[in-house]
């Protein structure tokens, strides 16, 4: 965690991509970046999507540097001028013009919150947030299907690591078990990084990792998977074998949990992935979706691309020696 002192400047690129201020990307920044990040959060709360969006980290960074975002599309016409003024002043690309935290708290929109008109933005914003969550779920579920079709020899070693870490043998890894497990295999991982991995891989949101979730995030980190495995995943969703994932098929795949079969959300997901606008997802579009984006990494509130890459290599090096150590440890426990 950074603690700013007066006049101090930082140069390390850290933070979740959506919330990075332009000066972070330029590697020279101070406490003004916190106001920018809060401005991004305010923007999302008011309309349900980030102001700067792209399919990968590089694209997000370019969008942030360009500094272009919309206050025109729905629901912005129904947002008060004071609220929009605050967003614009918090997202000023010039850190010296940007509001300070004190000025934000003194802004009329916050000072006069009790006088604000009672205009409901709830359903629209909630729908967009659910779409964002559902897209993550779609990609994560597809990744789980990829993992389930891998040859057993490719996942057995990963499962061995899981069972070695699962000290109480209840089929779930807690934060403490993950942290201690990495130490047991000779890889001391910082608590923040363990939490990042846990948050990213915990698909069902119960605060622990089951074996499938652990294998799935390992597959992602190790980039295991060929075209053949993606084909199997696509076929899982394409129930009727038409060569396309259609609305009904995607709805069926996402009915678990609290998302529900919301037709509008499903159509919006298809619209995001459907590059040729034919109302369905082809294999080529599915493959592009799976190979782009950064859903897993964005689950972390503290993310550095280089740092995450280093972490993934550290945890899942896949070398013969490391795997042999794990097997030896596993045999000792048995």
Average pLDDT of each block of 10 consecutive residues along the chain (334 residues)? 65 80 91 94 85 79 91 86 95 96 93 64 56 62 77 77 91 90 68 69 80 78 61 89 91 64 72 86 87 43 40 45 47 47
DSSP string computed for 244-280: EE-HHHHHHHT-STTS---HHHHHHHHHHH-TT-SSS
Whole-prediction pTM: 0.46
pLDDT of residue 133: 54
SS3 94: coil
pLDDT of residue 302: 32
pLDDT of residue 144: 77
CATH number belonging to domain 17-115: 1.10.510.10
pLDDT of residue 307: 43
Domain 151-224+304-333 has CATH 1.10.238.10: yes
Residue ranges per domain, the chain? 17-115, 151-224+304-333
Closest CA to 50 of 31, 36, 29, 33: 36
Q: Which long-range contacts (CB under 8 A, 24 or more apart) does 153-157 make?
A: 154/224, 155/215, 155/218, 155/219, 157/318, 157/323, 157/326, 157/327
pLDDT of residue 188: 61
């Amino acid at each position: 965690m950074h603690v700013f002192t007066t006049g101090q400047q930082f140069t390390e690129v850290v933070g979740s991509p959506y919330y990075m201020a332009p000066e972070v990307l330029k590697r020279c920044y101070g406490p003004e970046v916190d106001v920018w990040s809060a401005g991004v959060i305010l923007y999302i709360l008011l309309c349900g999507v980030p102001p700067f969006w792209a399919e990968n980290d590089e694209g997000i960074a370019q969008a942030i540097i360009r500094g272009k975002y919309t206050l025109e599309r729905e629901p912005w016409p129904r947002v008060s001028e004071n609220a929009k003024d605050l967003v614009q002043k918090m997202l000023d690309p010039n850190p010296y013009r940007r509001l300070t935290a004190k000025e934000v708290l003194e802004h009329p929109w916050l000072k006069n919150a009790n006088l604000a008109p009672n205009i409901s933005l709830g359903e629209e914003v909630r729908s967009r947030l659910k779409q964002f969550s559902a897209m993550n779920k779609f990609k994560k579920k597809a990744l789980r299907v990829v993992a389930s079709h891998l040859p057993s020899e490719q996942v057995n070693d990963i499962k061995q690591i899981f069972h070695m870490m699962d000290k109480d043998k209840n089929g779930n890894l807690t934060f403490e078990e993950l942290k201690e497990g990495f130490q047991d295999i000779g890889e001391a991982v910082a608590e923040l990084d363990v939490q990042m991995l846990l948050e990213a891989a915990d698909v069902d949101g119960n605060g622990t990792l089951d074996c499938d979730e652990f294998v799935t995030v390992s597959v992602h980190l190790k980039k295991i998977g060929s075209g053949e495995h993606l084909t199997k995943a696509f076929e899982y969703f394409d129930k009727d074998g038409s060569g396309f994932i259609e609305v009904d098929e995607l709805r069926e795949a996402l009915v678990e949990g609290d998302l529900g079969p919301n037709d509008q959300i499903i159509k919006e997901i298809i619209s995001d992935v459907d590059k040729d606008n034919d109302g369905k997802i082809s294999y080529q579009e599915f493959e592009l979706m799976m190979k782009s984006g950064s859903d897993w990494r964005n689950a972390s509130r503290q993310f550095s691309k280089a740092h995450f890459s280093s972490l993934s290599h550290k945890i899942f090096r896949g070398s013969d020696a490391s795997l042999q150590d794990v097997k030896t440890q596993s045999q000792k426990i048995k």
